[in-house]
């Protein structure tokens, strides 16, 4: 369970939206789900970019998205940099 303290202005905006849509809890949960998904995507893309950059620095070769996501035959170092597939 999570308790979140909102400033008066945000509370007012949330309450107004809740009157038109769904409960405040539902809206807060939906907002958190979207935020967490966005942050997970950002981290995934950061790791993917880092893996590609490190591979390029080591080999001079670029990594295609397909090669990055699926098993490589190019050595264990690439596997260490592997980015797990997104959900």
- 70: confidence class by pLDDT, cuts 50, 70, 90: low
- Cα separations (Å) of 17 from 8, 11, 29, 34, 61? 14, 10, 14, 17, 51
pTM, full prediction: 0.66
The residue to which tokens 């893309």 are assigned: 45
- What percent of the chain shows pLDDT beyond 70? 77
Mean pLDDT of 14-29: 92
Three-class DSSP category at 41: helix
pLDDT score for 76: 44
Hey, where are the domains in the chain?
A: 9-80
Mean pLDDT of 67-77: 55
Q: pLDDT of 25-42, one tens digit each?
A: 999 999 999 999 898 888
């Amino acid at each position: 369970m999570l308790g979140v303290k909102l400033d008066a202005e945000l509370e007012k905006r949330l309450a107004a939206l809740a009157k038109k849509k769904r409960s405040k809890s539902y809206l807060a949960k939906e907002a958190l789900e979207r935020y967490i998904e966005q942050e997970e995507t950002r981290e995934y893309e950061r790791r993917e970019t880092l893996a590609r950059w490190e591979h390029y620095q080591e080999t001079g070769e670029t990594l295609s998205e397909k090669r990055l996501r699926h098993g490589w035959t190019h050595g264990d170092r690439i596997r260490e940099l592997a980015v797990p597939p997104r959900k």
